[in-house]
């Protein structure tokens, strides 16, 4: 099953992310894809905000993985764009079982190592403010997550 949602502002994208966070569970993996500036990091800010993380959330393009542990659950924010599919020595798979929420920007570049069960969100730019999010759950937990939120 696939869901399509249109957000009309950054605030609506943040609110959607907060709704997903409200149904969080350990080892949740959220995969975000879309062109530059489409809202991937904005969505992650919504998750972090709802977790109670006060730190500034920016895309971890050069560090690849940023760990935020000050919220009610750890948030592991990844930007794998620069890896170009080569994840050797990075240890990304370890994060899938560390008990937090994993958000991966540009996840389509590492599809072969992603867990079978995950939530994928593709961002498509409509105009300056509006985005269409195509949300696909993989696995029963993620299907139930979508049913609860959407």
| pTM of the predicted model as reported, rounded to 2 decimal places | 0.96
For position 130, what pLDDT does the model report? 97
pLDDT in tens, 92-112: 999 999 999 999 999 999 999
Which range among 45-49, 62-66, 124-128, 138-142 shows the weakest confidence by mean pLDDT?
62-66
- Across 122-133, average pLDDT: 97
For position 63, what pLDDT does the model report? 85
The domain segmentation of the chain, as residue ranges, is 3-149
Q: Name the DSSP letter for residue 87.
A: -
Query: Quick one: which of 147, 144, 143, 142 has its CA closest to 30?
Result: 142
Q: Which residues of 112-125 are buried (b: 16+ CB within 10 A; e: fewer)?
A: eebeebbbbbbbbe
For position 85, what pLDDT does the model report? 75
For position 82, what pLDDT does the model report? 85
Q: Is the dihedral of CA 17, 18, 19, 21 positive or negative?
A: positive
For position 87, what pLDDT does the model report? 83
The CATH code of domain 3-149 reads: 3.40.50.300
Tokens 């759950």 belong to which residue?
137
Q: Name the DSSP letter for residue 122.
A: E
pLDDT in tens, 20-61: 999 999 999 999 999 999 999 999 999 999 999 999 998 877
For position 131, what pLDDT does the model report? 97
For 109, counting Cβ atoms within 10 Å of its Cβ (0-12 exposed, 13-18 middle, 19+ buried), the class is middle
For position 62, what pLDDT does the model report? 79
Q: Who's near 39: CB < 8 A, 6+ residues apart?
A: 7, 10, 13, 123, 131, 133
The pLDDT confidence band at residue 67, using thresholds 50, 70 and 90, is: very high
CA distances from 109 to 85, 117, 132, 147 (A): 5, 17, 21, 27
Paired tokens of 92:
């990304």
Q: What percent of the chain has pLDDT over 90?
A: 89
């Amino acid at each position: 099953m696939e869901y399509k949602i249109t957000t009309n502002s950054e605030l609506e994208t943040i609110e959607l992310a907060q709704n997903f966070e409200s149904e969080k569970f350990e080892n949740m993996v959220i995969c975000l894809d879309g062109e530059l500036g489409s809202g991937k990091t904005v969505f992650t800010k919504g998750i972090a905000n709802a977790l109670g993380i006060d730190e500034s959330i920016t895309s971890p393009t050069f560090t690849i993985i940023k760990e935020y542990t000050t919220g009610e659950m750890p948030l592991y924010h990844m930007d794998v764009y620069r890896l170009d599919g080569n994840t050797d020595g990075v240890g990304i798979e370890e994060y899938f079982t560390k008990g937090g929420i994993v958000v991966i920007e540009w996840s389509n570049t590492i599809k072969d190592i992603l867990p079978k069960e995950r939530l994928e969100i593709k961002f498509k730019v409509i105009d300056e403010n509006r985005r269409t999010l195509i949300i696909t759950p993989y696995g029963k937990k993620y299907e139930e997550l979508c049913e609860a939120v959407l």
